[in-house]
Each structure stands twice: as structure tokens, then as C-alpha cells.
Structure 1
Amino acid sequence: MLDDLDRGLVHALHLDGRAPFSRIAGALGVSTQTVARRYRRLRTDAGLRVVGLADPHRPGQARWLARLTASPHTAQKLANALARRADTSWVKLASGGTEIIVVVDTPTGVASSNALLLHDIPRTSGITAVSAHYLLHTYLGGPTTWSGRVSTLTERQQQELAPRIEATPRRALAESDHKLLSALGRDGRLSNADLAAATGWSPATVARRLAELQASGEIFFDVEIEAAVYGATTEAQLWMSVVPAQLDRVAGTLARHDELTFVAATTGSTNLVAHALCADPAALHHYLTHRLGTLDAIRSLETAPVLRTVKAAGAHK
């Protein structure tokens, strides 16, 4: 479990993933050495990692949420193989280890870009069912952070830590940015010197390009950390069928629920998907019956317990 200083550090990293320890220390009222020590401990003990990611909803890009059913042995092997791919994220084992849930990113308008969904997965032996759901709109997730991680710092502290970035017109990612994004996907806090070594650019060029991409919204920085350190030991993927005319209203309501970390509209037999984090099975049951159960526009609900996250948003470790 985290104490207030740990929670403050994680909240600060959500505000600015590349903020110097000295600036975080100033806002938290502790020494730079204390912040650095806590950061190293959380990396070792709680899987803390800052990752730099491309905007998942940038033009020319499509996101799919795939559900694969297989035998437990096949599911484990396939989940690990999917996690190693550059075009996947959030690879999870669910439903007793017989289901894989994975987000797949593909360029739009390129036939070969859907090879994973159309060719590779269907030809894998041991898979008994496949469904792919196009993510139409994300209400919570990606650059929008789970409220459980960003409820520690005061308004004044948040203002001190928020990066000073002036919005600029979108500047599309270039082919030359791939090495930069690859390095940031492994560790978003790499120094400009380390990023220069990874890209072949100068540190000044790295700093300038990072500033351009952040200001235009092409990239953002996310924070990965084990949910259990926040007291959340029960995870579940929720698949809902909502009256279409009420979908936007229901999804907006769910995006404000503290129990949810992800809410998105999809195609398929269900049209709304969410990811829940709860303290224990009893808390999940209470959420399903007392909060979701009061929303009459939700016509059906399927709950898939998540056993393990094989890969989160960043590059596979």
C-alpha cells in the first residue's frame, strides 16, 4: 500500500511524466533525494513506470479491442506472444485464464495493417472464438487518467506541477519519430542525452521535437503501477449493451465513476466496454448491483474477471 507521499509522487507524474525530481520535491515539501528514493522503490516494488505514447486517436489510426477464447495453455502462450508485438497494448488474461483481451492499433486504409486480426490470430491453433470490436470513442482512458491516482495533490500543488505547454496545431508524427517513441515507450523519463543516443539526434533536437509533439497533442505521458498498491485487488472487464440513444449519457456517467479506469463505445453485440478496479469481489458486486444496476438504459451486462495484465500501455518489459 502507498502512503501519502507515494500517492503524491504518482499524482505528480501523471501531471508531468518528465518533471524533474527537484520540481516534484518542491511541490511535495520534501527533499529531492527523498523523491528520487521513493521513485526507485516504487519502480522495484510496485512496477512504477512512466511511458511516452502516441495519441491513440490521431488521424489515420484505428483501435480495435479483440477478445480471444482458447485453452488455458494456449491462452498463456498467445498472450505472451501478443505482448511482444509493437501494435498491441493492454494484453490481459481473463475469465479463468481462457480469454485474452487485447487492444490492437492499426493504420486506417491499409489492407496489410489488419494482418493480426484477419490472418495471424485466426490461424493460431487452439483458439476457439474470436471477436473484434472497433473502438469508436473513448470516454475514459489514454490521456484521461483514472481518478483513483489523481486525487492526492491540492489545487495549488497541481498548478505548480502542471507543465507549461502552449497548444499548437497538430504536427503529424513523422517516420523519423519512431525511434523516439520506441525509446519513450520503454521509459518516458529517459534524459534528453539518452534519447539523443537512441535516435541519433542531438539533445537540443530531442528537446525541441518533444516540445512540439506534446504541444500538438501527438504524444502524452502515462503512468503504469500495480493496481494492488491502491487497494484494488479485483479487476473486471465489463461488456454492456446500452440503448443507442442513451449511450453518450451513460458513458459520460460511467466515466465519472471512481471504480472505472476505462470506458469506450465499441462496435459489436455490445456497444459499451469498461474496465473496473475494486477492493475485492464484494466491492465489485456492490458496484454492479448498486451503481450500474440503477442505470435503466443498460440492457445487458457481461462481467469478465481479469486475472493478470501481461502488457500495459508501454512496451513489453
Structure 2
Amino acid sequence: MESGLLDDLDRCLAHALQLDGRASFSTIAAVLGVSDQTVARRYRKLRSSGVLRVVGVPEAAPLGQVHWLVRLRCVPDAAGAIAAALARRPDTQWVSLMSGGTEIVCFIRAPLREEADGLLLGHLPRTPRVVSMTAYRLLRRFAGGPAGWSGRSSALSAAQVAALRPVLSVASYVPEPGDVELLTALAQDGRADMSTLSAASGRSGSTVRRRLSALRGSGALYFDVEVDAALLGYPLTATLWLTVAPSALESTGRALAKHPQVAFAAATTGPANMVANVGCRDDAALYEYLAEDLGGLTGVQRVETAPMIRTLKRFGTLQP
């Protein structure tokens, strides 16, 4: 990574792990055409240096939860401390500070049926330092989640993708004791070995294997790859708040999902009815994306662009 970017093999490894976060090194090596030792060595180097991490991500709907995107505006110099407090909450999945230093954006997983003054709004910071707060409920995700981000998932050929994509038995999720602890352990390390997962969940190795299969097959768990977008050539990241004509929501969401700059896109409730996270090379590339790619979508009526300056929490775990 002398150039500050991931090389071709690292990108292929990241794409392979996006497809199946628990694929064996031998399986990945066979598809990539390199030795097991090479894949294991690359992964351990990337993992130990904090460049890449595989995480198990609980999916809200099968677990009886919903995602909320909360936008807080704070008085100057207060956002850092408030963002740190939000990041320590167990129900926040993503916490970012935005440019200007007075705004925070965070994802929260909350129970589907919530009391009016419950977890989501009642327990968020109530302080004069929070000037305003807006909550957006996610209605439909078009990009991100189990599908990953094409910005890091375009290194492998179609044949390699087919060889690595896991075959999962589809079933409905039925909770069992130990699932919460298992999901918590996988959020820390999606490739944790069976002995670690058994100890964390208090279940036998065979039970853990069965629960892993059930969680993945029901869609209650998927694996994602955490890697700095700058190492993929996208050092400038931003959140876009879009106002889209209701009749164009579906077509706009599908179009955004095809843009390589878009890491996440979803239709929401609230003042803006669609949100997207994008990654670009620099200011010129962001301008080009806004003016041409996004500007070419006729259903988009209004765009507010908010660059990110720091992410304190990703995928439910605090950043070092």
C-alpha cells in the first residue's frame, strides 16, 4: 500500500469477504488463484493494522426492529462530546460527525413497536446543547446492507463471484437463547473462531454452527467488510439528503444503487424522503457526481450535501 491505496489482491480479498465473510482462506485462495498462505498473510496484515475488518451485522426487520436515521444539530464545540456519548449507546449502529462540527448523524436500531416516549426519542440527549433533532425512519434500502458497496465490490469476475457466493437455506428467524451474545461477538469480529463464539454465547460448537446457519438463512445476520473508503480511492465521503417526487422514489433508488459512488441509499420518512452516502476522489469528483449523475435523475427535486469529517462508530462497534 505504498501508494496509499489497496492493491489488486487486497481489493479481491475485500470483495471475496464481502460475498462471504466466513469463507475459508483455502476457498478464497482457490478462487483468486493464489496460495492459502498468501491469503491468510494478507488478511492478517490488513486486520492487525486496522485497514480491514469483517463484521457480522444484525438485520433489523427479521429481528423485529426498525432502523432510524437521526440528525442532530448542536451548539459549537458540543458535537464531539455528544457524538461520543451516542457512540457508547448499545442501540446506535453508526455515528458520524459532519462538516462544520455542529451536526451529528447516527443510525439507531429500535424495537418495531415502541412507546411514544421510549428508547428512540426519550433517551436521546435532552440538553440545551442540542439545537434540533430530526428522526427519519428507513422505509426501503436500495444500496448497502447485504449487497455491499460496488466501490469495493467490483474486483472479481462474475465467475469468481458465483464461486464465492454462499448457498444459504432460507427460513424464518426463530430466536433462541445465546443469539444476542452470538451477534454481539460477530459484530466485533465476523471471522471469530468457533471456540470464541461458543464461549461468548454459552453454546456448544455444533449449536453455534446451527445458529449461524439459521441466522444467515433467515436474513437476520449478514457479513460486511469495514475498510476505509480513502484506501479504495474515495477519501471524500458525504451524506446526501434528497427530496424526490413520490412517483419517482423507486426509479431514483434503483438508479442510485447503480452509481459506484453510492455506498448506501434508502427511502425514508421525514423532511427529506431519501438519503444516500457517497464516496468521491475529491471536490471536483463530488461536484461532477452532483451535477451530472445525480443531476440527470429527473425525479430529484432538491439535494442537501453534508460532507463527513469523522466516524466514531461503524456497524455497531466503536472505532479505535
User: What's the TM-score bracket when you normalise by the shorter of the two chains?
Assistant: over 0.9
Q: Does 1:52 align with 2:56?
A: yes
The reply on whether 1:64 has 2:72 as its aligned counterpart is no
> Structure 1 length as normaliser, TM-score?
0.95
What is the percentage of aligned positions where both structures have the same residue? 47
- Alpha-carbon distance between aligned partners in 1 of 2:112 and 2:162, rounded to the nearest angstrom: 38
**Partner Cα separation in structure 1 for residue 209 and residue 259 of structure 2:** 37
Question: Taking structure 1 as reference, are residues 76 and 222 closer, same or farther at Cα in structure 2, changes over 3 Å only?
Answer: same
From the superposition, tell whether residues 69 and 181 of structure 1 become closer, same or farther in structure 2 (CA, over 3 Å): same
The residue type paired with residue 2 of structure 1 is: L
Please state whether the residue corresponding to 1:274 is helix, strand or coil: strand
Q: For residue 154 of structure 1, what is the aligned residue in structure 2?
A: 157
The answer to whether the aligner puts 1:77 opposite 2:81 as a matched pair is yes
**Preserved contact between residue 182 and residue 200 of structure 2 (Cα < 8 Å):** yes
Residue of structure 2 in register with 1:2 after alignment: 6
Aligned-pair CA distance for 1:128: 1.0
The total of aligned residue pairs comes to 315
Partners of 1:119 and 1:203 lie apart in 2 by: 37
SS for the counterpart of 1:257 is coil
Q: How high is the TM-score relative to the length of structure 2?
A: 0.94
5 Å-filtered alignment, 1:1-317, equals 1-58=5-62, 60-111=64-115, 114-121=118-125, 123-167=126-170, 169-317=171-319
Are the equivalent residues in 2 in contact too, given 1:18–1:189 (CA < 8 A)?
yes
CA deviation profile, 1:23-79 (whole Å, cap 9, x unmatched): 111111112221111112212445311111211232621111000111343211111
Deviation string 1:107-140 (CA, Å, 9 cap, x unpaired) is 022318833423432x134111111111111111
8 Å contact from structure 2 (residues 150, 260) kept in 1: yes
Gaps of 5+ in 1: none
How big is each residue's C-alpha offset from its partner over 1:59-105, in whole Å with a ceiling of 9 and x where there is no partner?
62111100011134321111111112211112111022211000011
Partner Cα separation in structure 1 for residue 200 and residue 28 of structure 2:
26
**What 5-or-longer segments of structure 2 have no aligned partner?**
none
1:230-264 CA deviation, whole Å, 9 max, x = no partner? 01011110001111111111111111111101111
Q: What is the identity, as a one-letter code, of the residue corresponding to 1:286?
A: E
Runs of 4+ in 1 over 4 A off after TM superposition: none
* 1:112–1:34 distance in 2 versus 1, CA, 3 Å: farther
Higher helix share: 1
